[in-house]
Structure 1
Amino acid sequence: MRFTIIFALLFVTFVQGQDREVTISIDTLSQKVYMLTGRGGNIGIYVGENNVFMVDDQFAPLSHKIKAAIKTLTNKPITYLVNTHMHGDHTGGNVNFNTEATTLVAQDNVRKRLVQKGLANVKANKLSQQDYEKTLPEITYSEDLTFYDVDEIIMAFHVHNAHTDGDTMIYFVNENVLHMGDTYFSGRYPYIDINSGGSIDGYIAAHKKALMVIDENTKIIPGHGRPSKKSELETYVAMLEDIRATVQQEVTDGKSLEAVKSNSALLAKYDATHGNGYINPEKMREQVYKSLIKK
């Protein structure tokens, strides 16, 4: 028991130390839209006529740094905060940003999954009831939701069973910036959360939907990685289609999961450029295989 307590304290100290070392950097993508990078998913910030529209909020311990970074851009209040999906590196800061001035928005399934996770944490005494309630989106939608700021149109649209079952993309029409959340990992293999409704087919479909919306001048905010553009997304989706076909052939040939996981030659032509992130080559082969057989 004593060892467990000491380990927990050391772990907390380690995490807090990591957070202290995090710097929030800002990329200017248009006159009104910015990308904030720290630890976790990329944040989108739109500075409107009278207020701020925010996309995702990373981890709770970083909220003070994120707020300070936003203050360097504007003193206008954050009116809406949209969660692109339910993972903690995109929603962890909800508890600190959810105020009377700020309304949390997400797709229906995001709230459902945050409720499930939050209630379990309350029951385990890991989260207070008050903080749990502040983590939850207050407005949800099924397919699409549109916001207006003078002449700016902000389109939030659901893409099905891609990274999860509750993914949202946000398109700032006049600024021509698209935030794709974790339906796009720029320059690295994607994380397809199969246990939360994600799939390789949905992931590819999400990219194709994005390509229908954007043009050659669109700036793309990925969930992770550097800002991107249409030509890079086209190359990425072509890679995913090739990977899907390659792994599908293994499935059709009756190869086992272990055989595919251990076959380092299978996706070798992409591993060097995309296999150095959170999802390494073996994990990539595994998640695509599992997604295909789950169908």
Structure 2
Amino acid sequence: MKKLLFALTLITVLFSNAQNRFDNVEIITHEVNQNVYMLEGAGGNILLQVGESEVVMIDSQYAPLSDKLKKEIARITDKPLTYLINTHHHGDHTGGNENFNTDQVTIIAHTNVMKRLTESEKSKGFLPEKVLEEAYELSLVDENNLIIHVHHAHTDGDSFVYLTKNNVVHTGDVYFNGSYPFIDLNSGGSITGYINAQKQILTTINEKTKIVPGHGAIASYNDLADYIPMLVDLKTQIQKEISDGKTREQVEKNNSITKKYDAEGFGDGYISPEKIRTIIYDSLILEATHK
């Protein structure tokens, strides 16, 4: 009986902590361009595009933050939401979907986002009503948005969104500004696909484009351009370690691989230096297995 009571108490405490961790989260708005805003809270960055008669929201963060987000959005515009685009399926980007979904809102995402949200038994209100395979042009009254799928990058369902007139791109988690990226290998991500996705973004945008990353501060073309060589360098170094017969544990403990970038603060985020080394190691092993 005591064990049961302890278990129930533990569950209650864990649930309460999960709820309370959002209580002190503040939604901070950054103006990216005229009528384009980045909303920072907890989880992935949200982009809000306020058009002449349509409002587009990219990603929805966690469900417990929806009321705070709605309040902040109402401060920015009194126009109703028209489209909600998900850059991928992770809960810190899709958790609020159902809370923002109305009869006037169309949720758009890649087909693999639909697949993964369905597999996780999300209710209908979470799910995309419009799915894309490769690319989709969202035609608005005053602008066209390009939603472009990138293959096996952060996940297998990533898309970046390019606001052509405003010259702003939301990369989703294909870019973590200022920190090592999380690459979800269990959801079809890979280091090679991640690098290729960033290169594809660069060829789509231009040097004046403002970048809203999945996580981190608003960035520039050059910020992303400088990020790619770091990933290429880490991939090259770890591939050499693999070719030399080094084990996963040896690579995990080899601080010299990431030392240069650790000193620049890239390991201070969600992904530690040890974690990025093992992610890339595991990715390269998987890629070699599937060749």
TM-score range, shorter chain: over 0.9
Residues in 1 aligned to 2:247 and 2:18: alpha-carbon distance in whole angstroms: 38
Identical-residue share of aligned pairs (%): 48
Aligned to 2:213: 222
Deviations 1:144-184 (A, max 9, x none): 11112223111000000000000010000010000000000
Aligned to 1:3: 6
Native 8 Å contact 2:175 2:214 kept in 1: yes
Deviations 1:24-56 (A, max 9, x none): 000101112110000000001000111210100
Deviations 1:123-157 (A, max 9, x none): xxxxxxxxx11111111010011112223111000
3-state SS of paired residue (2:128): coil
Residues in 2 aligned to 1:247 and 1:93: alpha-carbon distance in whole angstroms: 38
Q: Which segments of 5 or more consecutive residues in structure 1 lack a partner in the other structure?
A: 120-131
Paired residues for 1:201-216 under 5 Å? 201-216=192-207
Aligned to 1:254: 245
Aligned to 1:240: 231
Native 8 Å contact 2:238 2:281 kept in 1: yes
Residues in 2 aligned to 1:150 and 1:133: alpha-carbon distance in whole angstroms: 28
Paired residues for 1:1-295 under 5 Å? 1-118=4-121, 132-272=123-263, 273-295=265-287
Tell me the amino acid that sits aligned with residue 33 of structure 2: S
Aligned to 1:125: none
The two structures, once aligned, show a CA RMSD in angstroms of 0.9
Deviations 1:252-293 (A, max 9, x none): 111111110111122111113200111000000000000001
3-state SS of paired residue (1:157): strand
Q: Which segments of 5 or more consecutive residues in structure 2 lack a partner in the other structure?
A: none
Q: More deviation in 262-271 or 79-88?
A: 262-271
Residues in 2 aligned to 1:226 and 1:179: alpha-carbon distance in whole angstroms: 12
Residues in 1 aligned to 2:248 and 2:279: alpha-carbon distance in whole angstroms: 10
Q: Which runs of 4+ in 1 moved over 3 A?
A: none
- TM-score with structure 2 setting the length: 0.95
Tell me the amino acid that sits aligned with residue 202 of structure 1: G
How many residues get paired?
Answer: 283
Tell me the amino acid that sits aligned with residue 277 of structure 1: G
Deviations 1:184-234 (A, max 9, x none): 000000000000000000000011011111222111000000000111101
- TM-score with structure 1 setting the length: 0.94
Residues in 1 aligned to 2:20 and 2:118: alpha-carbon distance in whole angstroms: 29
3-state SS of paired residue (1:53): strand
3-state SS of paired residue (1:163): coil
Tell me the amino acid that sits aligned with residue 289 of structure 1: Y
Tell me the amino acid that sits aligned with residue 268 of structure 1: K
Native 8 Å contact 2:38 2:47 kept in 1: yes
Deviation of 1:15 after TM superposition, in Å, equals: 2.3
Residues in 2 aligned to 1:192 and 1:216: alpha-carbon distance in whole angstroms: 26
3-state SS of paired residue (1:198): coil
Residues in 2 aligned to 1:176 and 1:271: alpha-carbon distance in whole angstroms: 32
